[in-house]
Amino acid sequence: MKENKSLVVWHNPRCSKSRNAIKYLDEKGVRYTVRRYLEDIPSKEELREVLKKLGIPPRELMRTKEKLYRELGLKNVEDDEKLIEAMAENPRLIERPIVLHGDKAVVARPETKIDEILSMSKG
């Protein structure tokens, strides 16, 4: 099995895309740590770090089709900090799965996007 202790997957076991990512890593024999982000909720600072690693604005990390997104009226919110706050308070809004390694991250949809991280972690 390839050693890769620093690979972390923000995982929701109820999500098929998230389960596919875990299965993909398992099939490749890659070691990783699972973070059930709905239980171990990321702080605003952690979300800022992940956004930086992903290189995307907060809205792109949000599940904009989620009922909660509409209920909170986030469509018209332009303040990135407010969007980050909404994700920290309501982790269901966070797109999944997120795979992190070092200073890089990908939203693994589809799960083959994980290869971008794996290719960086070789060596």
Q: Cα separation of 40 and 42, whole Å?
A: 6
Q: How many CB atoms lie within 10 A of CB 99?
A: 27
Taking only Cα atoms into account, the Rg of the chain, rounded to an integer number of angstroms, comes to 14
Active site residue 102: no
Ranges assigned E (strand) in 1-123: 8-10, 33-35, 98-101, 104-107
Residue tagged active-site, from 8, 15, 41, 54: 15
Strand arrangement of the beta sheet that strand 104-107 belongs to: 33-35, 8-10, 98-101, 104-107
Question: Residue 106 pairs with which residues in a beta bridge?
Answer: 99
Please identify every residue annotated as catalytic.
15
